[in-house]
Amino acid sequence: MTTRRSLRHALAALGVGVSLLLASCSTGNDAAVYGGSFTFVSPGGQTEFSYPAAERGTVANLSGESLSGEGTVAVSDFAGKVVVLNFWGSWCGPCRAEAPALEQAATALAPSGVQFLGVNVKDTKSAGADFMASKQVSYPSIYDPSMRTLLAISGYPASGIPSTIVLDRQGRVAHIWLRAIDDAQEMIDVIGPIAAEQA
């Protein structure tokens, strides 16, 4: 009996210790993530994936500090819209190359109920904000230096910068690019039909 009681006490102490350790690792700038049924599985070598409606899973409701410094921004802010998540960093050459095409596609698709949302990772806030200003990016970005949003998507490659995930109007993963997209028309051709689907 004493052994069991000691074991319970030890496990409780361990739980408290782990909780304190996790709390101490928080930077205060971490993005919040919760929920989601999507698990990414790569068949190897592919950089683009399309998911039929019947096979789509949801990602966590990603949220975090706005890169512009104005409160927080979350995927759930755009409920009922197609949300295009683009993971990027100012330090990333391909991210700089694709920025004009993303902005062009965002502008063209907005009337169809499509919202682009950036996720700025492994960056400083000032460098990310300078990037958005210099590239004239009009859509918001979550500031996520610790990459919590990216790591919260089950199986998703943490090295996938830049990468883009298209969520349908139900918040389910409809399409993924694990590469830079420098052709706005390519995005329009893929995202337009997703936006036209019945909610």
Please indicate, yes or no, whether residues 22 and 56 belong to a single structural domain of this protein: no
- The pLDDT-based confidence of 198 (bands split at 50, 70, 90) is confident
Task: Encode pLDDT of 168-188 as tens digits.
Answer: 999 999 999 999 999 999 999
Please indicate, yes or no, whether residues 14 and 39 belong to a single structural domain of this protein: no
Task: Encode pLDDT of 72-126 as tens digits.
Answer: 999 999 999 999 999 999 999 999 999 999 999 999 999 999 999 999 999 999 9
Print the domain residue range for 47. 31-196
pTM check: above 0.75: yes
Please indicate, yes or no, whether residues 19 and 101 belong to a single structural domain of this protein: no
Cβ-proximal residues to 83 (8 Å cutoff; 6+ apart), any chain: 75, 114, 115, 116, 117, 166, 167, 171
Give the CB-side neighbour count of residue 149, counting CA atoms within 13 A: 31
Please indicate, yes or no, whether residues 177 and 90 belong to a single structural domain of this protein: yes
Please indicate, yes or no, whether residues 99 and 157 belong to a single structural domain of this protein: yes
Please indicate, yes or no, whether residues 133 and 155 belong to a single structural domain of this protein: yes
Please indicate, yes or no, whether residues 131 and 44 belong to a single structural domain of this protein: yes
Please indicate, yes or no, whether residues 161 and 84 belong to a single structural domain of this protein: yes
Number of domains in the chain: 2
